[in-house]
Chains A and B, each alone.
Chain A
Amino acid sequence: MKVLFALQISLFSYSIATGQTTIQGHIKDSDSQPIPGVNIMLLDTYDGTTTDASGKFEFRTAESGMKTLVIKFVGYRELTKQVNLEDKKIIIDASLEEEINQLEAVTITAGSFTAGEASRRTVLRPLDIVTTAGATADIAGVLNTLPGTQKVGEQGRLFVRGGEGNETRTFIDGMVVMEAYGAAAPNTPSRGRFLPFMFKGTSFSTGGYSAEYGQALSSALVLESKDEEAVTRTDVGLLSVGADVAHTRAWDGGSAAGKIQYTNIRPYYKLLDQQIDWKTPPASIEGVAAFRQQVGKTGMVKLYGNFNEADFSLYNHDIDDDKIKSLYDLTNRYRYLNGSYKDALNDNWIIRSGVSYTAIRNDIKVDDMIIGETERGLHAKTVFEGSLSNQLELKAGGEFIVREYDQIFSGNSHAAADHHFNEYIGAAFAETDIFISNDFVTRTGLRLEYNNLTSTIRLDPRISMAYKTGDAGQISLAYGHFRQSPKNEWLKLNTALEAEQAQHYILNYQRIENNKTFRIETYYKRYRDLVKFGNDAGTMLTNNGSGYARGIELFWRDNETIPALDYWISYSFLDTERDYLHFPQQAIPNFASTHNFSIVGKYFINTLNSQVGVTYSFASRRPYHDPNQEKFNSGRTPSYHDISLNLSYLPKPYIVIHFSCTNLAGFDNVFGYEFSTQRNDQGEYNGRPIRHPAKRFLFLGVFITLSRDRSMNMLPSL
């Protein structure tokens, strides 16, 4: 009985509270402002509370002994304090340090436009790539409506801030893409090879970009491919110029997708008159495959492959005598393979590694001269990214880029020399982001490059910073040194040519508020070591060229004011001159126009389940050289105008009907002039305007998506 009584007593005494401790205090941030909503918790217990509107808290606990008090709130670094619960009252006054949050912190915007789902601070959305009229779902097409680009309609590439088309380099998942544009007939625009539907993020830089990207004098187009697809589906597209079928298979942690597209412009050209004398209009077959797989908890492997075979031939008519014509025949074979791996090494560091391989073969026939051109590229890169502390981020890596080029002439008429070169570039780069706070960041980077053809090692610094001026605005500036090996066309003639160089100075102010974006940017670029002809024939080349480009750009986007309407306006002013290639003196290059203006609108008509897009583009007169004039490049084309329209109609959730038309109003746009090499009877050189093959390009497509869930459609994938 005594034992029982003792047990009862011990049971009874067990359930008596052993005494309470009160914990109270005041939580502030580093500016001494109170923080409400903070979680104060006693580790391994339920006890705790939340700070009130003035940052104060108080709670009682029956626990005893030494315990850990944890103070945490989103956006701040967690604080822990040891407390001894034998005291009756504990007062904690603490100040929380800001956590540098990647998505909330200020980002460097000088010279860069990003479109991505993750960040809300972006100016473009991934859907913009496909819904912008005039772009016909070509990435370069929509980027051409942004400030910093010049309209060069006859080439269809990106010409950025007084730079040539090849000065913009495309990267997919960090790996360089050679020949990112499809083969095109001379003076006809080429399209990007990569379909917008593959990408979840696009970063278009008009200057001042990261030390990670090299061999691009003016601009880097950085595309990030999608992570795994979540849903299995089949997509079929019936287009006015061909057809495509794609299948995506999704499983837990990975997906695989494949697409085959056949394009043949011939039926379209038969219907609509063309100004080009096609022998065989362009036809191509393209296959794309993408594979993604999660590896472990944090890793991802991505494989991407693209093959494309395109074929066309046309007759070039002599400028003086239309009846004389020569045949131009091009067969292009393109293979691209890209593999990348990304994983978290630990809580703070990630590794990104990749390899890309490009193989291009062009077989060109000009009358009876046959030119075989092969280009092979290999790019291998590894990057480590991580935080050294809450306020210091570091990125460092190395890469190896190989470019092999072969050009072989055969056939009779011309005894031209064969060309061949192998270029090996090894580079290392490092970049730090120093966050003084969430409002002020400085980025300093250094890039080291070795080139075997010139046997030189070069060091290029890059520095940029951004400062948030308020809730919605920020100032950003950037300076950088960039270099790029000359084009194949020149390097093949003189493999000792040095890289062309450019220095960028950029200043920018951006404000994003309530779905409205305002942006103004000014820049100055200094070009050095541009390729220049040492003789008139262009067979002797030097790096004696130079140039400059400067300008101001404005951008305004609003998808708030008028419901269902999303529009943006962009204007670029460019003042540029260069002394390069065959130029006898410094002059404005042919691809530059002083004023470039675009207004893009998209309107969703709910009752009709449709989206309408309209784009108006303007570019001021471009220079061209008229041999009948004494002064070099004194000719000026008329101004360029274009009104394009596109329409997407969803009759059912899984069907999209898409129609687009460029140059609706039928403006007669002239991009330049070609001149005869001989004088005519009047002693003048005959000229011929360079225009689009047809005034308007019309396109119609029906896209059907088959999946278990019938509400999926191709709208985002067009």
Chain B
Amino acid sequence: MKTKHSLVVALLLALITSVSMANDGKYIEAMKKSITQLYEADQIAEYQESVNAFNRIASAEKNKWEAYYYSAYANIMMATLEPYAEKKDAYLDQAMLAIEEAKSLAPNESEVIALEGFAMMMRISVDPGSRGAMYAPQAQQSFNKAVALNENNPRALALKAQMEFGTAQFFGSSTKDACATNAMAIEKFGTYTSENILAPQWGTTMTEGLAEKCK
């Protein structure tokens, strides 16, 4: 009787955990599929599909920062491809909304803070003359905070390097520090892996571009 009882319990436990793991498994599977699609996208229409997919997941799950993160990232990518200034700002508005959600779910997540800095950097590009003064210091602060939260985050370092390089070029000062940060970013891309299987992986192209300029 005892063995039968424990077998039933074991089976029930297996059923329960398999159901919950199936739920999480479902989430992870959906995210992985969408992330793969995201990294393959290179047109605005394709990124829009990614935004929509992540928005669906985010709205169904309600407490997963990664879903909001990738939605924001896809919107930022659309802003980089969009030539029309008003639309650029519209995509960045959407990105910032998603980033706010991600921040409230994971306030100390280095990736989210780095992404916020990225969005601010893109804001500047829409109208550098007017926006530079307001957003540049805020973006710089975000990158510094992201590095402080996780000094091994290659994306935080890569974005920080981009910002430093641009500022140094603008003032005609030395780009040495920026290039050093970029080199460190490249190193971390090679060595850093996150425990989170859904963690972002993008950013190597950015460092390659800057490395060329640093030669």
Contacts and interface: CB of A to CB of B under 8 A. Distances in A.
Contacts of B138: 230-231
A104 interface: yes
A41 B136 contact: no
A711 B48 contact: no
Given A3-B8, A120-B86, A50 B48 contact: yes
Centre residue among B11, B60, B89, B138 by max chain A CB count within 10 A: B60
Interface in A123-171: 125-127
Contacts of B51: 39
Centre residue among B52, B89, B170 by max chain A CB count within 10 A: B52
Contact of B140 (A104, A559, A711): A711
A711 B136 contact: yes
A474 to B, nearest CB: 14
B130 A125 contact: yes
B137 A712 contact: yes
Interface in A19-58: 36-39, 41-50, 53
A48 B55 CA distance: 10
B45 A117 contact: no
B90 A74 contact: yes
Given A46-B60, A653-B173, A126 B130 contact: yes
A634 interface: no
5 contacts: A7-B11, A37-B49, A45-B60, A120-B86, A652-B173
A653 B167 CA distance: 8
Nearest to B167: A711
Contacts of B167: 653, 711
B133 A709 contact: no
A16 to B, nearest CB: 13
B2 interface: no
A11 interface: yes
A351 interface: no
B176 interface: no
A652 B171 contact: yes
A46 B56 CA distance: 5
Interface of B is mostly: helix
B198 interface: no
A74 B7 CA distance: 53
B89 A120 contact: yes
Interface string A60-82: 00000000000000110000000
Contacts of B26: 46
Interface in A71-130: 74-75, 103-104, 117, 120, 125-127
Given A104-B86, A652-B171, A127 B129 contact: yes
Nearest to A121: B86
Interface in A701-718: 707, 709, 711-712, 715-716
A653 B137 contact: no
B4 interface: yes
B48 A127 contact: no
A125 B129 contact: yes
A49 B50 CA distance: 10
Interface in A659-718: 707, 709, 711-712, 715-716
Contacts of A36: 45, 48
Given A48-B52, A230-B138, A712-B137, A4 B7 contact: yes
B56 A709 contact: no
Contact of B133 (A4, A7, A716): A716
B105 to A, nearest CB: 16
A609 B172 contact: yes
A46 B48 contact: no
Interface in A627-654: 650, 652-653
B133 A127 contact: yes
A653 B173 CA distance: 9
Contacts of A607: 172
Given A7-B15, A48-B52, A49-B52, 17 more contacts: A3-B8, A11-B11, A36-B48, A44-B59, A48-B56, A50-B49, A74-B90, A117-B131, A117-B134, A125-B130, A126-B130, A231-B141, A566-B129, A606-B170, A650-B171, A715-B133, A716-B133
Contacts, number: 103
Interface residues of B, number: 41
B30 A46 contact: yes
Nearest to A715: B133
A709 B141 contact: yes
Centre residue among A11, A53, A707 by max chain B CB count within 10 A: A11
A566 B130 CA distance: 12
Which range holds the interface residue count of chain A?
35 or more
A607 B171 CA distance: 9
B85 A120 contact: yes
B130 A43 contact: no
B52 A39 contact: yes
Contacts of B94: 74
Interface in B121-179: 126-127, 129-131, 133-134, 136-138, 140-141, 144, 167, 170-173
B106 interface: no
A559 B141 CA distance: 30
Contacts of A125: 127, 129-130
A44 B86 CA distance: 32
B48 A653 contact: no
B11 A4 contact: yes
A657 to B, nearest CB: 13
B57 interface: yes
Centre residue among A38, A39, A49, A609 by max chain B CB count within 10 A: A39
Contacts of B56: 39, 41-42, 45-48
B130 A127 contact: yes
A3 B12 CA distance: 12
A34 to B, nearest CB: 13
Centre residue among A7, A50, A566, A716 by max chain B CB count within 10 A: A50
A235 B207 CA distance: 35
Contacts of A127: 129-130, 133
A53 B45 CA distance: 9
Interface string A513-545: 000000000000000000000000000000000
Interface in A577-612: 606-607, 609
Contacts of B137: 230-231, 707, 709, 711-712
Nearest to B88: A120
A489 B136 CA distance: 49
Contacts of A104: 86, 90
Nearest to A230: B138
Contacts of B8: 3-4, 7
A52 to B, nearest CB: 8
A46 B141 CA distance: 35
A55 to B, nearest CB: 12
Interface string B1-17: 00010011001000100
B39 to A, nearest CB: 17
Interface in B29-46: 30, 45
Nearest to B30: A46
A49 B15 CA distance: 31
A53 B48 CA distance: 12
Contacts of A74: 90, 94
A37 B55 CA distance: 13
B86 A39 contact: no
A284 B49 CA distance: 61
B167 to A, nearest CB: 5
Contacts of B134: 117, 716
A609 to B, nearest CB: 6
B55 A39 contact: yes
Contacts of A609: 170-172
A425 B20 CA distance: 68
A633 to B, nearest CB: 44
Contacts of B4: 3
Contacts of A42: 56
A50 to B, nearest CB: 4
A712 B133 CA distance: 8
A103 B173 CA distance: 38
A37 B45 contact: yes
Contacts of B11: 4, 7, 11
